[in-house]
Amino acid sequence: QHGRVVHPTHWLIYAQVIEAELAKIRESIDWKVESGWPRTLAEDYTLIMTHFKAALGDSVSEASRDFAAAVHLLRDALTLRAPLEAVAPDAYTDLDGTYGMKTNDGAWAALTPDAAPGVSFVTHAPLEASAHPRCLSDAGFSAAVVLNTGIDYAPMDSDIVRFRSRGRAGGKHRSLVRTAATPSERQYDLPPLSRVTLERIDEAGSWTEFGRMP
């Protein structure tokens, strides 16, 4: 048999990349740890939510096992945290565009312009929504974007989805779960395989939040 020499350089580079990505989301990770999350879970969860929502959505929709461990990690983490958190406030995200829910999860295509109240469907990808005042302006929704220098907010050309959480009932949790409350973020998450129901559609300029009228 031929002997082989394996050089660990590629593992070192991989570790350096991960550390660099973790550094960008350190504020969110530290908040989780201070709130009682184990550090490893806080790091894994935040890294997955930052980079792999679309991949998880594809995996779930195709009934693939490729990302099964990551899906279970997200659902288990939120199941553990849900009883410890209050009902989430109204939280917002974009339906379309670069970071929109349709981009990460085709299930959200059910929210067409003529969708009727009562339309209900089960999600594939995990999602995050924001209750930070910077996420809304009179011009519309702005997404929290992870940069080397921290979190910034970028305007999105998209319809806005408002999540209205409810208290627990019938043994079921009906609220998004808080996963960051820092100066930069007020993030609330929903795990894959959650059922959502359209309550109503408000026209642009007909509602206000944070003193803005998107």
CA 53 distance to own-chain centroid: 7
Q: What is the mean pLDDT of residues 145-163?
A: 93
Q: Is the pLDDT of residue 9 over 80?
A: no
Q: Is the pLDDT of residue 207 over 90?
A: yes
Q: Is the pLDDT of residue 6 over 50?
A: no
DSSP for 104-116, please give it: H-GGGGG--TTPP
pLDDT recorded at residue 13: 54
pLDDT recorded at residue 4: 45
Residue at 119: amino acid letter: V
Of the given ranges (17-21, 53-57, 86-90), which has the lowest mean pLDDT? 17-21
Residue at 81: amino acid letter: R
Per-residue pLDDT reduced to its tens digit, 63-79: 999 899 999 999 999 99
Report d(CA 137, CA 15) in Å as an integer.
39
pLDDT recorded at residue 49: 96
Report d(CA 156, CA 98) in Å as an integer.
8
Average pLDDT, the chain: 91
Q: By three-state DSSP, how is residue 121 classified?
A: strand
Q: What is the mean pLDDT of residues 132-149?
A: 94
